Chain A
Amino acid sequence: MSNNAIPRDFVKNVLQNGVGRYVCQLKRITFRFCKSHGGSRHMRDFIENNLLEFTQKNPGVVCYLQPRRHRPPSVVAEFLNGRREVMLLSGKEVPEICKWVEHMRTRSGVQIVNMIQNNHTETPSTQGIWHPFMFRDSEMAATEFPSKKFSQIQVTGKTATDLVLEEQLKVSSSESSDSHIEGK
């Protein structure tokens, strides 16, 4: 249907992250806010009270503060795979901003899209994908076509003609053996 217009993809992840050690995929985070307007009030509170704790806990993430005059507050997250995500946070209160920042920190950076299937693999086959010559009779490679052997239909059982001829053979052989006994 028209769902084709919405981006869809197979499930993806940053493979082997966390097997040896975990690498935070968030590279850089920018807090954009206005110094004067009321829309950025909670963002300013967040910066005042919670940001320092966040930076101390996550030394691997670069934090920027970007004051912009008369613009709504937002968060820009940049990930190790090169993707950049913007989230508008106007009117969001401090606990909610904390949640979204935590969300950005724990994400893999892969785009969130509609999933085609729940399971997917890049290497679907261990035995080799089927191809037309896989189960073909290898004798066909050496024969010259058209050949009568591969053309004839394979039948089991006997036709009526075969049965009649067999009966004739039986009768004739028994007659000959009878005559042999009489001759003795």
Chain B
Amino acid sequence: MVFLTRHLLYRRFYQPHHDRSWKKEMQNRLTWHFYGRRRNCYALQKDAIRRSLRFATVVRSSRRRHVNYIFSDRIAAGCAQHGVQYSSFMRSLYENNIAIDKKVLSSLAVYEPRTFQSLCEFVKKQHTEKVYAGLAASVEPTPSGIVTREMVDKVYKS
């Protein structure tokens, strides 16, 4: 820390509230991006900091969700240019045990576009094979422990 004059140096240590200067420094570090006098004035900083830290607590949980939305948007955009829908793309990867998460998929779409293209081609091929086999609807996985009306009908008929 640079002190331009000796007076400024001693002011830190020989004041009635000498701790406040350190607190002031801490506050300045938290308010450097604020607008107006809330950035520089100690008294106005206090309330602004309390407010911003409160927001920071709230945002901590929702930030992850928003980042996830951006990943989904990017994957959807990457899929669309190969004629694949986002939902069918993700479902097909899940069904075929291709365990790549959204973060990596979205970065693949930008940085390794040919790899992403081959994933899309794979999904398309899977889809056409299912359609030719007449299994487009029936191959979809049913969660375990759930009995659908179709299953009951099949049992009755047999």
Interface residues of B in 44-59 (CB under 8 A from A): 52, 56, 59
Bound form: Cα–Cα A124–B117 in Å: 18
Query: Is A129 close to B, CB under 8 A?
Result: yes
Interface of B, helix, strand, loop or mixed by DSSP? helix
Bound form: Cα–Cα A128–B114 in Å: 9
User: Which residues of B lie under 8 Å from residue A125 when comparing CB positions?
Assistant: 111-112
Interface of A, helix, strand, loop or mixed by DSSP? loop
B31, A128: Cβ atoms closer than 8 Å: no
Known: A5-B30, A135-B82. A129 touches B56 (CB 8 A): no
Query: Is A145 close to B, CB under 8 A?
Result: no
User: Which residues of A lie under 8 Å from residue B59 when comparing CB positions?
Assistant: 1
B52, A130: Cβ atoms closer than 8 Å: no
A interface residue numbers (CB < 8 A to B):
1-2, 4-6, 124-130, 134-135
10 A-B residue pairings within 8 Å (CB atoms): A2-B30, A124-B107, A125-B112, A127-B112, A127-B115, A128-B113, A129-B111, A130-B110, A130-B111, A134-B113
Q: Which 6 A-B pairs have the closest CB atoms?
A: A2-B30, A125-B111, A130-B113, A5-B29, A1-B56, A127-B114
